[in-house]
Amino acid sequence: MLCCDNLPENGHVVRGVVLDLARLIDPDLAAWIEAQGLPSTMVDRIVPATTPADLDRVETLTGRRDEAPVMHEPFRQWVVEDRFCNGRPDLGAVGVQLVDDVTPFEHMKLRMLNGTHSSLAYLGYLAGHQTIADTMADPVMAQFVDRLWRSEIIRR
């Protein structure tokens, strides 16, 4: 089983839920599950707001109007703990990072990406910028991010 959500420590959470259910059904099943690996994962994908042009493009490509498609930028990161019980597919071949512990990657994403993004969204809005890209193009905001990372986020 492999979690593909953004819940921190998702493997531990799912493992606990599955074990609780298994104990109610069959103690032997629960014992077997307890001996198996259930890796935690961290998934990241930049998903900007959908524009009218995006809606039109999806309609052109599919022949159907979808009022809520999820668009994405090229960036993606999928980090998976290498804790599988009986072999695993070659996830590295498709760009998955296999690690011993996903926690540092979760912290990095929450602090460096999500925390910085929120700061830029609020400050950029107050400064009159329309997008994060516009905000980052502002030298004052770029300097703010540099200082935020160096002084508050990156541990030395």
Mean pLDDT by 10 residues, the chain (156 residues): 85 93 95 89 87 96 95 89 87 94 90 88 95 92 93 76
Beta carbons of 92 and 98 less than 8 angstroms apart: yes
Q: What is the pLDDT of residue 155?
A: 65
Among 149, 155, 75, residue whose Cα is nearest residue 112: 149
Q: In sequence order, which residues have a C-beta less than 8 Å from that of residue 37 and are 6 or more positions away? A: 83, 84, 85
Give me the sign of the Cα torsion angle 68, 74, 75, 79.
positive
The amino acid sitting at 155 is: R
